[in-house]
Amino acid sequence: MSQSSNRATGPGTLPDGASLFAGDSFTTEDNDRAAQAARDRVFGEIDRLEMHAAIGQLDAKGYTVIAPELAAPPGFADRLRDAVLEAAERASGVRPDRSTGLTHAEIMTRHGQVQHVEPLIHLNPLFQEALLNERALAVVTYLLGESCVLFSSTGQIKGPGFQYLPLHADQANSGTPAPFPPFAQVCNAVWALTDYSADDGATCFVAGSHKLCRHPTAKEAVDLSLFEPLEAKAGSIIVWHGNTWHGAVPRRNPGLRVGIIQYFGRWFHNPGSQFARLFTREEVARYPPRFAQLIGAQPTPGLDHRYGSRVARFSQFG
Ligand SMILES: O=C(O)CCC(=O)C(=O)O
């Protein structure tokens, strides 16, 4: 056997006369370094905020809850709740009745007895502050990378009623057929602004279902034995992976469940920079650059995000 044919079959070598084409669909060392630096930043933030337990829970169960005392200073969640109720009143002309909830008992939407205020993000600077919450963003960025975008921002007010929200995976909203990628393409970060429990009409999760990488079947979606209502105190932030099956039980208690749904996705699922038009340049400039990135007022950083999103789960590009 000649030396040259030996080289042709050896690992990491090319046959004589062959060359590698450095086209734009292949990696470069710069891209590799950028992806590693992005990973370091994402894990650095998790270390700084001491969020390892939350990340462990997220990986194991598909969702995590950031406790009120870690989420924000005392009083912030109450002000946020009042701002959502005020926005709801402005939108509908009906003052939400917090003690009985009867103003919302007859509403019927895709989420049951729930009034949606959408988009919410531009209606009060508190909603923008809530979006920039550092602990929520640390988890969202762990799931979706630094280039992720806010897809929707919705105030949710749920009254007493009878309607369940069937189990579903938010990944379905992007039109992705199963099997889903095991790492998240979309995720949700919800501010629970009143207590969540079974009788309060809480969100329900099927722990570990994100690992199945598929939608629930029609039968599973309405199988009440799978509904596990979450217990979370007012002021918590609930973050879940886009593959995680979740739904909600009806509210049995009088009164209202109030929350903000912030739904995020990787930049390549972006339906368009729908929030940028809601803000003036001056308003955007008041916030750190991450705000402009999230609302789509600034292009995704980096030269070649097509490439970056493929190489790294935590890439600054993907
Ligand atoms: O209303 C809830 O608790 C769940 C909301 C939900 O399923 C969603 O935003 O995808």
**Model pLDDT for residues 39-76, shown as the tens digit of each residue:** 999 999 999 999 999 999 999 999 999 999 999 999 99
Mean pLDDT of the 271-278 span: 75
Q: Which atom of ligand 1 is nearest to the CA of 261?
A: 9
Q: How many residues does the chain have?
A: 318
- Alpha carbon distance 140, 138 (integer Å): 6
Ligand 1 pocket test: pick from 114, 188, 264 the residue with the most ligand atoms within 8 Å of its Cβ: 188
Mean pLDDT of the 8-12 span: 58
Q: Which pLDDT score is estimated for 240?
A: 98
Instruction: Name which of 167, 239, 178 is nearest 205 in CA terms.
Output: 167
51 CA from centroid of ligand 1 (Å): 24
Q: Which pLDDT score is estimated for 312?
A: 40
- Alpha carbon distance 188, 26 (integer Å): 32
CA distances from 90 to 56, 93, 120, 202, 258 (A): 40, 5, 12, 25, 16
| Residue 235 φ/ψ region, left for φ over 0, alpha for ψ in the -120 to 50 degree band, beta for the rest | left
Compute the C-alpha angle 52/237/196, nearest 5°.
Answer: 125
Q: Is the CB of 251 under 6 A from ligand 1?
A: no
- Alpha carbon distance 217, 314 (integer Å): 31
Mean pLDDT of the 304-316 span: 42
Q: Is the CB of 246 under 6 A from ligand 1?
A: yes
Ligand 1 atom 7 nearest Cα: 247
Ligand 1 atom 10 nearest Cα: 170
Looking at the predicted structure, is the pLDDT value of residue 263 above 50? yes
Mean pLDDT of the 25-37 span: 79
75 CA from centroid of ligand 1 (Å): 25
In this prediction the pTM is: 0.88
Q: Which atom of ligand 1 is nearest to the CA of 158?
A: 1
The 3-state DSSP class for residue 166 equals strand
Q: Are 230 and 205 in contact (CB under 8 A)?
A: yes
CA 139 centroid distance within chain: 9
8 CA from centroid of ligand 1 (Å): 56
Task: Write down the residue that tokens 């097509």 correspond to.
Answer: 306
The tens digit of pLDDT for each residue in 148-183 reads: 999 999 999 999 999 999 999 999 777 788 999 999
Ligand 1 atom 6 nearest Cα: 247
Instruction: Name which of 72, 37, 70, 76 is nearest 52 in CA terms.
Output: 70
CA 313 centroid distance within chain: 15
